[in-house]
Amino acid sequence: MSTQDVLKNASTLASYNVLLQVMFRVLTFLLNAFTLRFVSKELIGVVNVRLTLLYSTLVFLSREAFRRACLSGVSGTNHSWRQVINLLWLTLPLGVLWAALLVCVWLWLLEVPDPLTVPYYGPAVVLFALSGVQELLAEPLMVLAQAHMFVRLKVVAESLAMIAKCSMTVVLVVFAREWGLYIFSAAHLVYTGFLVLCYAVYFIRFLGSQEAAKKGFPLHRVGDLLPCRADGEPLVDWTLARLTWSFFKQSFLKQILTEGERYVMTFLNVLSFGDQGVYDIVNNLGSMVARFIFLPIEESFYIFFAKVLERGRDVKSQKQEDVAIAAEVLECLLKLVLVVGLIISVFGYAYSYLALDIYGGSLLSSGAGPTLLRCYSCYVLLLAVNGVTECFVFAAMSQKEVDRYNLVMLALSVSFLFLSYMLTWWAGGVGFILANCLNMGLRILHSLLYIRRYFQSSQWKPLRGLLPSPLLLLALAVSAVVTALSEGVFCCDSGWLLRLVHIAVGAACLLGVFVAVLLTETQLIQFVRTQLMPKYRKKHT
């Protein structure tokens, strides 16, 4: 597969992933708004913070290292998919071990919620852990699909799973509210069950078909998906196994950084279950754009950089055409996430109160909710830049560099936990966001220094993508002032008519920012049209 084909497939994957994440976030957004009117904020706090943390910790620690190593192509074109499949099946027993350990911690070491307010906590812990193990049954199939760019499979599977989860949650919340945590446990089991079923059905039908033969798919029958030893070769690729171990050490630290505030809330009890529920709702609302735009871009273009660049080799010893394309893509991605992040930061300040008041009423708009969302809007900018810089760095680093970076991650993890505790004690929920900003800034600095060194001896300067045009900066500054004044004059206690005026002012300012982008960021516009918009790309090609 040529570099241009890899770029095209990665761009398609990013585009469909963005659409998928938009749907997920919109459904979750509507589901939370609906359940807020039927269940207590304490119940939402336990589900969205503690139980979701159990599930995400189990799945992330069980599969993330295997997924990154097996998608990186470290063994070159001679790697055996038989050995890769064998390695990926190790995620299942590892997941069972993590599930047993985490269930013990969640049941016996953490504070148990009041059973009158949050009933059936014990069974819910076991069922959420079981759902994580159930999802790992499809991990070899998921990696196969991602490596071969089966983008529609992921979209269909996760869409059906999310629709099934939301449908069950709504039905049980309305008709069986007394079930408590059983409602969300059953819905999560349905979600992971649908994922496994969709991937299994697809590959059962795909393997051995004419389509598989036409694509040159490396596996030919369903039995090839199960672990077994091939004649004349080791059970696993030990190069990939060593890289997996390196990524495993890193993934443990990255999980602490990614879910750090939930660990602090869960293990240190700095917020009540009700306050945890409010914080998590605001956090989900603030991270919607980050998750449905930035995360799919990071995941998809990590695959692109990993396939185009040769891990651990300097720029001069690689194909210059491939390096040129990688540098251009990195520059455009940095400019894209920077522009989107700046827009969110500017408009998030003036519209946080209105958004929370519409979404959850006085439960969210009174108190610290608006301040939390305003701070999170600024944090999104750092989150966006870090996602792109780290996806490039992790694709280009050698195994030794990955091991060295683990020490950096360890220092950041320790400092983050300390800062989270201290700043939360001082500033409440806002302290979590401030700690995240400080740590994200340090991670960005490390990645920028690596990228600068990587391209230092070449003609390419992809970090120019972090320099927006003066006209765009002026448009953003004017928008910040105008929308802040509009909020003070029109919003938000004088009725819906003035609220609509405030919204109209924001829409006009946003239009002005878009015009500035169209006039000054021509390279970015061309990249978005040709690489991230599937309909236009089909016409263009």
Lowest mean pLDDT among 31-40, 181-190, 476-485: 31-40
Say yes or no to pLDDT of 535 above 60. no
Residue 305 tokens read as 């950089």
| The pLDDT value given to residue 74 | 39
Mean pLDDT in residue range 240-246: 83
User: When comparing pLDDT for 207 and 215, which is higher?
Assistant: 207
Range list of β-strands (E), 467-526: none
Query: Given a cut of 70, is residue 3 above it in pLDDT?
Result: no
Contact predicate 136/63, CB 8 Å: yes
pLDDT category at 25 given cuts 50, 70, 90 is low
Closest CA to 169 of 20, 276, 27, 52: 27
Cα-Cα-Cα-Cα dihedral of 425, 427, 429, 430, to 10°?
Answer: -140
Does 541 have pLDDT greater than 60?
no
User: Does the pLDDT at position 498 exceed 70?
Assistant: yes
Per-residue pLDDT tens digits for 331-370? 988 999 899 999 999 998 999 888 888 877 777 777 777 8
Residue 8 has pLDDT above 80, yes or no: no
Q: Is the pLDDT of residue 54 over 90?
A: yes
- Say which range, 272-276, 408-412, 494-498, 532-536, has the weakest mean pLDDT: 532-536
> What separation in angstroms does the CA of 376 have from each of 36, 164, 289, 330, 429?
21, 30, 11, 25, 11
Q: What angle, 0 to 180 degrees and rounded to 10, lies between the N-to-C axes of helices 320-360 and 496-520?
A: 170
Binned at pLDDT 50, 70 and 90, residue 1 comes out as low
The pLDDT value given to residue 197: 95
pLDDT of residue 346: 92
pLDDT number for residue 288: 73
- Please tell me the predicted confidence (pLDDT) of residue 4: 60
Region 427-451: mean pLDDT is 87
The single-letter code of the amino acid at 271 is L
Q: Which residue has the higher pLDDT, 109 or 80?
A: 109
Range in 35-49, 383-397, 497-511 with the lowest mean pLDDT: 35-49
Predicted confidence band at 473 (pLDDT cuts at 50, 70, 90)? very high
Tokens coding 386: 């870090």
Q: What percent of the chain has pLDDT over 70?
A: 90
- Is it the case that residue 536 has pLDDT exceeding 60? no
Q: What is the pLDDT of residue 5?
A: 62
Q: Is 118 left (phi over 0), alpha (psi -120 to 50) or beta?
A: beta
Residue bearing tokens 């009423």? 361
pTM higher than 0.85: no
Question: How do the domains of the chain map onto residue ranges?
Answer: 38-265, 271-466
For the cut 50, the answer to whether the pLDDT of residue 52 exceeds it is: yes
SS3 232: coil
Lowest mean pLDDT among 23-27, 465-469, 484-488: 23-27
Separation between Cα atoms, residue 495 and residue 110, nearest integer Å: 45
Q: Assess contact for 20 and 296: CB atoms under 8 A.
A: yes
Whether the predicted pLDDT of 147 surpasses 70? yes
| Per-residue model confidence (pLDDT) at position 505 | 94
Least confident of 9-18, 395-404, 438-447: 9-18
What are the tens digits of pLDDT across the range 260-309?
Answer: 778 888 888 777 887 788 788 887 777 776 666 777 777 778 878 888 88
Give the pLDDT of residue 231: 67
Which residue, chain included where needed, has tokens 């520059």? Answer: 331
CA proximity to 13, closest of 328, 326, 303, 305: 303
Q: Which residue in this structure is represented by tokens 């939390």? A: 372
